[in-house]
Amino acid sequence: MPHGVSWFNFLPGYRQFEEFLNAYLGKSFIGKQDLVAQHVAGAILVFIIVIILALLARSVLVRNRDNVIGDGRPSVANFFDALFEMLLGQMRSVIGHHAEEHFPFIASIVLFILFSNLLGLIPGFLPPTNNLNTTAACAISVFFYYHYIGIKKNGFFKYINHMINPIGEWWGYFLCWLMFPIELIGHFARPLSLSLRLMGNMTGDHAVLAIFLGLFPFVLPMPFMILGLIVALIQAFIFAILTCVYIALAQAHDE
């Protein structure tokens, strides 16, 4: 399958959907070129997959409400249980107290990124996370969320005051002309680094996999598919850890 083309191109109405996006949204803000709906269609498919899996897991839990531990056999519910237990453990180690209140947001981001990454391992599909528009949307969501948490926990003026005087001493205000711009640059660099790191790794991983699938469709691409699986898991994990770090730093003055 040619580069940049996926199974979505063969769906009826896909071309009209792409034309609709370009007509009403204009050119992509990132790249200043016509919008390609691959990542939008992929994101919609990921949402559908996650919702279906969540409903299946919920039905299993409802049927086995008297046996919360489960029987240990592979199932959708056990997969989510293991994933969320590992994620919550990492959140507690990084954020500390109040980690549970951030779990819905971080778990939602991780599920979307993980399944978006895994979608790229299926021949004929492109991962939504190899597009900067998708990864930037996730990173900007994190940016606004941790600032919201920082203001909520500390109050607006105390939160801004920490940016002006991160040292916390009276003499630190004499350095505000230097520290405040550095703090602002650091905060705005976070969503940029989050989005570029995720997009770059997934684009490179998918490009390598596509090359070897095109040259040798059988057997030989298997090691690269395993490597792609590892990269997909690691990138979702790194995004989650960095999100936890930003939240922990935002509410650190509340300790």
Helix (H) or strand (E) holding 205: helix 176-215
- Spatial distance between the Cα atoms of 61 and 144, rounded to a whole number of angstroms: 33
Answer whether 91's CB lies under 8 Å from 106's CB. Answer: yes
pLDDT given at position 244: 94
pLDDT given at position 194: 93
pLDDT given at position 190: 93
Contacts (Cβ under 8 Å, ≥6 apart) of 216:
none
Q: How many helices (H) and strands (E) does the chain have?
A: 8, 0
pLDDT given at position 255: 47
Residue with tokens 């919550």: 88
Helix (H, G, I), strand (E, B) or coil at 33: coil
pLDDT given at position 65: 67
**Boundaries of every domain in the chain:** 7-254
Answer whether 126's CB lies under 8 Å from 118's CB. Answer: no
pLDDT given at position 238: 94
Low-confidence ranges of the chain (pLDDT < 70): 1-4, 26-35, 65-73, 168, 170, 172, 212-221, 253-255
Answer whether 228's CB lies under 8 Å from 119's CB. Answer: no
In terms of Cα–Cα distance, which of 69, 145, 67 is closest to 104? Answer: 145
- pTM value? 0.86
Answer whether 191's CB lies under 8 Å from 140's CB. Answer: yes
